[in-house]
A and B are shown apart, each in its own frame.
Chain A
C-alpha cells in the first residue's frame, strides 16, 4: 500500500542546534515533494518544494534533500530558534498524477 511516514514522536532540540526531520514514502514515485509548517490552530504554510531531479534545495536556514533511491526526504533547520517550534508536514504528488498527499507531520520543539 502507499504510505507517507513522518516520525510521530516530537523532536526536542536545543536552540542553536540543527533540527533534522524525516519523510519516508512507500509505493509512490513523486515528481515533487513539498514541506509545510503548521502552527497550532492555523493552516499549513508552504516552505519549500523540491523536484525529483534535484538533490538539495536551500532557503535561508532551511535545507531539503530528496533521495529517490532511499525514498526519503530530509528537512533541516540550522541554527534553530524557539520560534521554529511547530509541526512540519511533508507532501508529495504522484508522478503523472494531480492529487497531493500529506504526511501526518512531526512536531518540533526548540528550547531556549
Chain B
C-alpha cells in the first residue's frame, strides 16, 4: 500500500539546470497537488490537477510547469532552476476537492539549487 510516492527524495541542482519531480499515487484519486514548504511558512500551492489531462495554477506557479498525462502521475518541472527554488516539495492527492477531503501527502523532495 504505497499511497503517494515522490521521486527523487533529494537533489542538488546548479542554477540554470532543469529537472522533473515525479509523483505517483495508487489510490485512484482524481485530484493531485504540488506544494512547496519553506522554513517559517505554510505549504504553498504551486499547481494542481482536478483530473487526468488537466492542470491549473496555484499560489506560486512561476518557474514551474506540470503535466498529468496519466491519472496516477503528476509531474513537476523546473526548466531553469534558481536558488529561490531551494525548498522541500510535497505532492498530495485526494479523492475529492482537498478542502473537504482527506489529502494524502508524499514524503517530500528536498531540492537545493546552488
Binding site for B on A (CB under 8 A): 4, 8, 31-32, 34, 41-46, 49, 51, 89, 91-93, 97-105
Among the interface residues A97, A99, A102, which one has the most CB atoms of the partner chain B within 10 A?
Answer: A99
Kindly state whether residue B107 has any CB partner on chain A within 8 Å: yes
Q: Could you say which of A31, A44, A51 contacts B43, with CB atoms under 8 Å apart?
A: A44
In the complex, A11→B108 CA distance in Å?
25
Minimal Cβ-Cβ distance residue in A for B31: A98
Q: Which of B11-19, B73-81, B96-104 lies at the interface?
A: B96-104
- For A42, list chain B residues within 8 Å (CB): 107-108
Contact between A103 and B45, CB atoms less than 8 A apart? no
Contact between B97 and A102, CB atoms less than 8 A apart? no
Q: Could you say which of A4, A43, A100, A105 contacts B99, with CB atoms under 8 Å apart?
A: A100
